[in-house]
Amino acid sequence: MTGKQPFEKLVSEHGPAVLRVCRAVLGPVDADDAWSETFLSALQAYPQLPADANVEAWLVTIAHRKAIDVIRRTRRAAVPVADVPAVAADPDDRDLDLPRSLARLPERQRFAVSYHYLAGLPYAEVAAIIGGTAEAARRAASDGIANLRKTHGTVP
């Protein structure tokens, strides 16, 4: 007995959180592809995963690698364009723009905020994924939140 959950359980329990993370780090367009690649890779590797592994951290780790691949691919393919106009500053719309502001944070801050606040991973796990110490991961997340607070007064 391996005591392992059927993979379907992983998809239903962690699929939505992984998609939120993919959307946060990549934006809605590339998120679906990153999610699909993440779960297909996870399905392949699943029989070898130790039974006591933290499944959510494992999935976010795979999603992170897929996201890095996508970011590199897009960067190589990028064609310079004029600056996108700044987001409307209408205070009533501010919360709706929060995901967009998150997408514009520096990479490490964006990763740290997404993995800690959206995936709910402790900073030690976040650090294992993005590199550096847990303390540095905590700082990156809090810098990220401070940046979001500058443009969005409603951020708690």
Partner 1 sequence: MTMTTQDPDQHLADLLGPPPADADMAALHARLTAQAEAAGLLDVAYRTLDTPVGTLLLAATPAGLVRVAYEREGLDTVLERLASKVSPRILNAPQRLDGAARQLEEYFGGHRQRFDLPLDLALASGFRRSVLSYLPAIGYGHTASYQSVAAAVNNPRAVRAVGTACATNPLPLVIPCHRVIRADGQLGAYLGGPEIKHQLLDLEAAA
- Interacting residues toward partner 1 by CB under 8 A: 1-9, 11, 15-16, 19-21, 23-24, 32, 35-36, 39-40, 43-44, 46-47, 95, 98-99, 102, 113-114, 117-118, 120, 145, 154-156
Angle, to 10 degrees, between the axis of helix 55-77 and the axis of helix 123-130? 40
The answer to whether 17 and 118 have CB atoms below 8 angstroms apart is yes
Given the complex with partner 1, which of 97 and 128 has the nearer CB atom? 97
Quick one: which of 46, 18, 45, 44 has its CA closest to 32? 18
Least Å distance between CB 84 and partner 1? 20
Given the complex with partner 1, which of 23 and 64 has the nearer CB atom? 23
Given the complex with partner 1, which of 20 and 65 has the nearer CB atom? 20
